[in-house]
Amino acid sequence: MKKDKATNLQARVERKRSIQEKIADIRRELSTPRIWGMAAKLMASGDARSRLASFINVQGGGSESGVSAARRSDLVTLKSNAEQTAREFKEVEAEKERLTAELEALQGELATLDCTAEVADIAAHQVEIDKAKEVVAALSKTIAEQQEIISGNQVAGPKDLQRRRQDILADKAMGKADRDFATELQAVDEEISDLDKKAASAKRTVADAQHAMEGLSRKLTEAQAAVKALEDDHKEMVGFFLKTEATMVDLEYQALTLMLRDSYCQLSALSSILGQHFGGEEAFFNGGLPQLNTLVYDIPAAINQEKARLGAMGIQC
């Protein structure tokens, strides 16, 4: 049941965002030259009709049939222009009416959209965010581990061994007979071979780690995007909850304000009557009745207190 409610809340958040995006798109369309240039199209349409009517009056005596054959092509052109400008204006006018109606409908839906939310729904969504963040943390840790593998498998080339082999062969070429060149060459060749094998193995390990990092980095980007999307939704959900809380407090505030007003008026009346009863010598308040506008409102302290209350409920804002 809770999952269904949370899902419904998520759907309302997505619907609100969708409506806001559509409203922004419509407003952009309404601000294009095609739409706000309607006045110019209306004027062009009127000018085309006026030119046509003037032409018929002058060339045909007020009747199209009266236009001479030599000027019939001019008549056809003027009629075509008048019809085209009128058609263009009607098309734009219809488009503007459609967009305006759609905008009003979306604004109406947005105003009546159910923006209530409960603490349990927000807490359940926070759990989803925490899980998504754990995925991000795990991926980041694994990427760091793969980087350590790459750093730990950097094998130096056999330059020193190659140099030693060159020196042995140089001494052999010079005819120094007091050394076992075959044994020395075999030993250094074995060292070079072992180093080459280690380098080849390290190269494969590094290549695998680099490929793993590429895949992990891609997954990390996706996971971070998922966290961002969840946090954006969560912000909307908290907004829903705060609106719910504010609405309830507002109703209570209005009721208490009326009670305070009535009590203030009644107390003022009784104090006045009491003074009149004793000929103005006594009144209920020696220093005068406290005025509502002299009360101290510590809003900053109230904000901190409210944040603490919400924080105790698991709602951070």
**Contact yes or no for 59/67 (Cβ under 8 A):** yes
Pair of tokens at residue 313: 């409920």
Instruction: Output the pLDDT for position 180.
Output: 76
Cα gap 113→11, rounded to integer Å: 11
Instruction: Output the pLDDT for position 1.
Output: 42
Cα gap 213→19, rounded to integer Å: 39
**Contact yes or no for 86/44 (Cβ under 8 A):** no
**Contact yes or no for 272/240 (Cβ under 8 A):** no
Global pTM reads 0.56
Pair of tokens at residue 167: 């020196």
Cα gap 195→203, rounded to integer Å: 12
Cα gap 101→97, rounded to integer Å: 6
Sequence-distant contacts of 217-225: CB under 8 A, at least 24 apart: 217/143, 219/139, 220/136, 220/139, 220/140, 220/143, 223/132, 223/135, 223/136, 223/139, 224/136
Measured CA to CA in angstroms, residue 40 lies from 43, 77, 193 at distances of 5, 21, 86
CATH of range 119-312; options 1.10.10, 3.30.70, 1.10.287, 1.10.3470: 1.10.287
Identity of the amino acid at 40: A
* 280: phi then psi, degrees, rounded to nearest 5: 80, 0
Instruction: Output the pLDDT for position 279.
Output: 67
**Contact yes or no for 283/271 (Cβ under 8 A):** yes
Instruction: Output the pLDDT for position 157.
Output: 59
Length of the chain: 317
Cα gap 45→38, rounded to integer Å: 10
HSE at residue 149, side-chain half, CA atoms within 13 A, is 19
Pair of tokens at residue 89: 């204006």
Cα gap 122→307, rounded to integer Å: 16
**Contact yes or no for 95/35 (Cβ under 8 A):** yes
- pLDDT tens track, the chain, 317 positions: 445 555 688 888 888 889 999 999 999 988 888 776 766 766 777 777 888 788 878 777 888 788 777 787 877 788 788 888 888 888 888 888 999 999 999 999 888 887 778 888 888 888 999 999 999 999 999 999 888 887 777 666 566 767 777 777 777 777 776 777 777 778 877 777 777 777 777 778 778 888 888 999 999 999 999 999 999 999 888 888 888 888 888 889 899 888 988 887 887 787 777 777 776 655 555 445 555 555 667 778 888 888 888 888 888 77
- Residues 6 or more apart from 234 whose CB is under 8 A from it? 122, 125, 126, 129
The domains of the chain are located at: 2-112, 119-312
- Cα–Cα–Cα angle for 46, 48, 50, rounded to 5 degrees: 70
Instruction: Output the pLDDT for position 183.
Output: 79
- Residues 6 or more apart from 12 whose CB is under 8 A from it? 113, 114, 115, 240
Instruction: Output the pLDDT for position 161.
Output: 65
Give the single-character DSSP code of 58. Answer: H
Q: Which helix (H) or strand (E) holds 166?
A: helix 159-173
Measured CA to CA in angstroms, residue 133 lies from 6, 145, 154, 199 at distances of 19, 18, 33, 38
